[in-house]
Amino acid sequence: MTLPATNSAPWTARPFHQQFLMRQANRLFDFFQRASINPAGGFYDLDDAGHPIETVNSIRQIHSTTRMVHCFAIGSLIGRPGSDEIVDHGMRYIWDKHRDTRHGGYIWSLDDHGPRDDTKQAYGHAFVLLAASSAKLAGHPLADAMLADITEVINKRFWDDKVGAVREEFANNWSSIGNYRGQNSNMHLTEALMAAYEATGDKAYLTKAERIAELIIGKHAASLDYRVAEHFDENWVLDKAYLGSEMFRPAGTTPGHWLEWSRLLVQLWVLGDKRLSWLTDSARQLFRQSIDLGWDKVHGGFFYTLDWDNKPVMREKLWWPVSEAIGAAAFLCAYDRDPYFQVWYRRLWDFAANHVIDYEQGGWRAELQEDLTPGSRLFTGKPDIYHALQASLIPLYPPIGSLTHAIIQTDHKKH
């Protein structure tokens, strides 16, 4: 793939594109800031128009609360008014309600009367670590205590040092629930571990992130022609027959996760002083495979899942894979001169701009059908700000680590 000399300058260096990106970030903040706060604690889920879906006894899931904290900590760091209040609202709900003061750890979901699902999930705990790390950089007074607490819980309850990854889930009292092991929770923990390393300087976090990447990508994805396996048994043997749930553990493979890993691997390479060259090699392979196998060559967009013969199974096009693809392309463009990544960075934004961004109501459409008409089989309303906000802001900052870290380093250089 080539670009004409007249149009070859990277978009990320162009003032108009930079303005476009910041405008998208601001519109996302506008959409989620104005109606998300639940006065009873936590945050509302929002419908397509940005109104709370439930206003009486709403269920609050931990990944939603923690992602809001992370994103509005980013808002605080870039100077978005109103962000600190939202960070504080979310942090206090995590600490006072999601945290289990009897058994330790953080429960999955609550309503106004208490726990709805009191299990302890590795996926949720990864996002608590991310929220605490981001809140620390934003200066929240609870951040240090939460960071210490969640680190102890992950180390004591979830981390399996023999394999270099986390166990998946436990009952409220830490008794075992099944033998499932999953890559998704480990992928998000990799993101959170890098953020914790940047917030504290403690290399133990970075070492864990590198070990997870070695297991999930260096061992398993590499052996599967750079398709990321999702589901394993307790011995980390791939379970191709696993059916799971459509929302959190869909069967087969999920190209959006290949893209998410692509960015995380480049980020991990940078934070690790660029000593592990296999990380960037793998990032390129994952990105190319996601395009070759996951991109719909008729309508555009990434199929949600593929089977092990690389055929689409869940043919919906969700907002988050294209968001993750944009972030991955931005990182790869910064370190690889192959015009392939520049071309795809533009194509991905073309797709988002023409099909995913909701200019009338705000936010990004969560789900499109195969033909790109709006759908709602999997998602109701607009689930969260996390993926789209990072897609909008990552290209604006140097690819030197997590977005929060890059914002701080850029501001320090300016002042």
DSSP string, 49-106: TS-BS--SS--EEHHHHHHHHHHHHHHHHHT-TTHHHHHHHHHHHIIIIIB-TTT-SB
How big is the chain by its Cα radius of gyration, in Å?
20
Can you tell me whether residue 307 is helix, strand or coil?
Answer: coil
Q: What is the C-alpha to C-alpha distance for residues 11 and 29, in angstroms, rounded to an integer?
A: 23
The closest of 148, 160, 225, 147 to 186, measured between CA atoms, is 160
The catalytically annotated residue of 63, 89, 220, 257 is: 257
The catalytically annotated residue of 125, 355, 387, 405 is: 387
Prediction pTM value: 0.98
Q: Would you call 70 a catalytic residue per the annotation?
A: no
Tokens representing 174?
């830490």
Q: Which domains does the chain have, with CATH numbers?
A: 9-399 (1.50.10.10)
Contact 72, 86 (CB under 8 A): yes
Q: Which residues contact 81 (CB under 8 A, 6 or more apart)?
A: none
Distances (CA, A) of 122 to 35, 52, 71, 165, 184: 29, 28, 20, 10, 9
Rounded to an integer, what is the distance from CA 387 to the centroid of its chain?
6
- Work out the end-to-end distance of the chain between its first and last CA atoms, rounded to an integer number of angstroms: 40
Q: Would you call 415 a catalytic residue per the annotation?
A: no
The predicted structure's pLDDT at residue 34: 86
Instruction: Identify the burial level of 368 via C-beta atoms within 10 angstroms of its C-beta, where 0-12 means exposed, 13-18 middle and 19 or more buried.
Output: buried
The predicted structure's pLDDT at residue 415: 64
The closest of 218, 191, 215, 219 to 205, measured between CA atoms, is 191
The closest of 95, 96, 98, 93 to 115, measured between CA atoms, is 98
Contact 65, 110 (CB under 8 A): no
What are the average pLDDT values for consecutive 10-residue runs of the chain, which has 415 residues?
Answer: 87 97 98 94 96 91 97 98 98 98 98 97 98 98 98 98 98 96 98 98 98 98 98 97 88 97 98 97 98 98 98 98 98 96 98 98 98 95 96 97 96 72
